[in-house]
Amino acid sequence: MLSLTNIKIVLIETSHTGNMGSAARAMKTMGLSQLCLVNPIIKPDSQSISLAAGASDIIKNAQIVSSMQEAIADCELVIGTSARSRHLQWPHLEAYESGDKIINEVQQGHKVALVFGRERVGLTNDELQKCHYHVSIPANPDYSSLNLAMSVQVLCYEIRRAMLLRIDHPKQPIEENAYPKDIDLERFYQHLEQCLIKTGFINIHHPGQIMSRLRRLFTRARIEQQELNILRGILTSIDKQQ
Amino acid sequence: MLSLTNIKIVLIETSHTGNMGSAARAMKTMGLSQLCLVNPIIKPDSQSISLAAGASDIIKNAQIVSSMQEAIADCELVIGTSARSRHLQWPHLEAYESGDKIINEVQQGHKVALVFGRERVGLTNDELQKCHYHVSIPANPDYSSLNLAMSVQVLCYEIRRAMLLRIDHPKQPIEENAYPKDIDLERFYQHLEQCLIKTGFINIHHPGQIMSRLRRLFTRARIEQQELNILRGILTSIDKQQ
C-alpha cells in the first residue's frame, strides 16, 4: 500500500510565520501530512495556524524537536535540500529523481525525512552530512533563490507525481537492502567512538576530526543493516579483547 | 537555440498584490521573464513591485491587456491551467508532460502562452475553450487548491526541467505542422461568420450557438496553417459565388 504518512517534511529553524503556513498548505495539496519543526524561530501559534488556512491541522499536529538528529531518528532515508552549487561531494538527486527514490522506500515500509534548511542560509554543512542524499531544484543561475514554501511545493509535487505513476504502472519496489534507522546508526557511532577511545586511537583530550570523518564516510556510503551488524560485531570483538 | 523568452505567462484578473509578486519570483527562479496581465484587479504598482523582491523587473516589464484574446494573439500554442475535475472534454496534458510540449514548440520558433485564471475561480469555460490544451497539476483530492503562485512555480519548474533535459539530450524538435497564430484564427472566424450570415445559415438576429460550437471544434482540433489556408480558400470561393 502506498501511503505518504511515512514521509516527514522537516523544517529547520523556520523564521517566518507565513512560510510555515505556506509550507503546510503546499504539503497538503500534494497529500503529505507529517511535519516536523526543528527549533522553529517562530512558534506554531495561532497566527501561523490561521495563515495555514485549510492546512492548519498539519501545523497543529506538527512534531517539534530541538535537533535534526531527533527529527530523523526513526528514518531509514534522509534527504536534504541544497542548492546545486555547493562544492560538497555527496550522492546527489535531481528533483525529478527524488520522488521515485522516496516512493520506492515508502513501498518497502521505510520512513523518509525530507529536510529543508533555514530561509536565508539553508542547511549547514554539518546537517548536510547527516543526509544520505542531497536534492536540488534546477533554477535560474541568475536568480536561484526559491523560497522555502516554493521548494516544499515542488518536491512534494514530485513525490505525488511518482506516487501516481507507481499506482498507474504498478511495479515491485526495487529490492534494496535493509537500512538501519538513524538512531541505530547513532548507537553505532557512539560504540565506535568509545571503542576507539579505549584502543587509544582517539585521544579523548584531542579527539580531532576522526569521528566526523568516519561519520561522513559511512553516511555517504549509506550503511546497510547487515553491514551495520558486522561493524557492531567487530566493535564488540574489540571490546572483549581489552 | 533554446530561449524561454517565447513563453508568456498570462495571469487573468489577479486580485492579490502578493500573488502577483510571488508569481513573478516563481517565474524568475525558473528563468522565465515574459509576464502578461489581463485586466489585473490590483495594479502592478509600487507595492506589488516591492513584494516581487528581486523579480520586480518582470512586473515592471509586464504587458497589460484587457482581454485574453489580446494576450494570446501572437501565440501559436495556448495552454490553460485547469483543475482535473472539470468535465469539459478537451485535449489534456499532465503537468509533467506540459514542459516537453512547450519546449518542443519553442524549439520550432513558436510562441506559447500558459494561462492562469483568477485566484478563486480559475478560468471560465469560455477562456478554457480558447486553449489548445488544458494542463493540470495532480493534487490531493481532499485539498486541491494550490494557490496561484504555487501553480506558476510547479509549471515553470516543469518547463525548466524539460529545457535542461533537451540540452543534456539534444533532440530535434518533433516536426509538427505549422500552426497559425491566434490572431489569424480570429480573422478566419470572422470570415466564417460573415460567410455563414451571407449564406443565410446564421440568422443575424438569432445567431444561436453556431459560432461558439464551431470555435470549440476547431480549437480542440488545433487547426494547422495549411488547413487554415484551405478553409479560408473555401470561404473566399463561397464569397465569390454570391
Instruction: Indicate yes or no: CB of A96 within 8 angstroms of CB of B140.
Output: no
Q: What is chain A's mean pLDDT, rounded?
A: 89
CATH of B182-240, one of 1.10.8.590, 3.40.50.10800, 1.10.630.10, 3.30.420.10: 1.10.8.590
The pLDDT of residue B14 is 93
The pLDDT of residue A118 is 93
Q: Which residues of B touch A30 (CB under 8 A)?
A: 139-140
Q: Which CATH class is domain A7-168?
A: alpha beta
The pLDDT of residue B88 is 64
Q: Which residues contact B144 (CB under 8 A, 6 or more apart)?
A: A29, B83, B85
Q: State the cell numbers at A18.
A: 507565513
ipTM of the predicted structure?
0.77
Domains B7-168 and B182-240 share a fold: no
Q: Concatenate the DSSP letters of all residues of chain B into one string.
A: ---GGGEEEEEES---HHHHHHHHHHHHHTT--EEEEES-SS---HHHHHHTGGGHHHHHT-EEES-HHHHHTT-SEEEEE--TT------EEEHHHHHHHHHHHHHTT--EEEEE-BTTTB--HHHHTT-SEEEE----TTS----HHHHHHHHHHHHHHHHHHHHHS--PPP-PPP---HHHHHHHHHHHHHHHHHTTSSBTTB-TTHHHHHHHHHHHHT--HHHHHHHHHHHHHHHHH-
Q: Which of B3, B4, B25, B29 to mutate to test the interface with A (most CBs of A within 10 A)?
A: B29
* Interval B203-208 mean pLDDT: 89
Reported as a single tens digit per residue, the pLDDT across A85-111 is 556 678 899 999 999 999 999 998 999
Edge-first strand order for the sheet with A112-116 is A63-65, A34-38, A7-12, A112-116, A77-81, A133-136, A92-94
Q: Which residues of A touch B54 (CB under 8 A)?
A: 143, 145
- To the nearest 10 degrees (0 to 180), the angle between helices A182-199 and A210-221 is 140
Reported as a single tens digit per residue, the pLDDT across B141-168 is 899 878 999 999 999 999 999 999 988 8
The pLDDT of residue A81 is 95
Instruction: Indicate yes or no: CB of A140 within 8 angstroms of CB of B161.
Output: no
The pLDDT of residue A86 is 55
Task: State which residue of chain A sits closest to B149, comparing Cα positions.
Answer: A150
pLDDT > 70? residue A113: yes
Q: What is chain B's mean pLDDT, rounded?
A: 89
Reported as a single tens digit per residue, the pLDDT across B58-96 is 999 999 999 999 999 999 999 999 876 556 678 899 999
Instruction: Indicate yes or no: CB of B161 within 8 angstroms of CB of A96.
Output: yes
The pLDDT of residue A223 is 85
For B163-198, give one letter per residue: b (16+ CB within 10 A) or e. bbbbeeeeeeeeeeeebbbbebbeebbebbbebbee
Q: Which residues contact B226 (CB under 8 A, 6 or more apart)?
A: B177, B178
Domain ranges of chain B: 7-168, 182-240
The pLDDT of residue A53 is 81
The pLDDT of residue B87 is 61
Distance from CA of B161 to the nearest CA of A (A): 7
Reported as a single tens digit per residue, the pLDDT across A21-65 is 999 999 999 999 999 999 999 888 777 777 788 899 999 999 999
Question: How large a percentage of chain A has pLDDT more than 90?
Answer: 56
Reported as a single tens digit per residue, the pLDDT across B10-68 is 999 999 888 899 999 999 999 999 999 999 998 887 777 777 888 999 999 999 999 99
Q: Which residues of A touch B120 (CB under 8 A)?
A: none
Question: How large a percentage of chain B has pLDDT more than 90?
Answer: 55
Nearest 5°: the CA angle B227, B229, B235 is 105
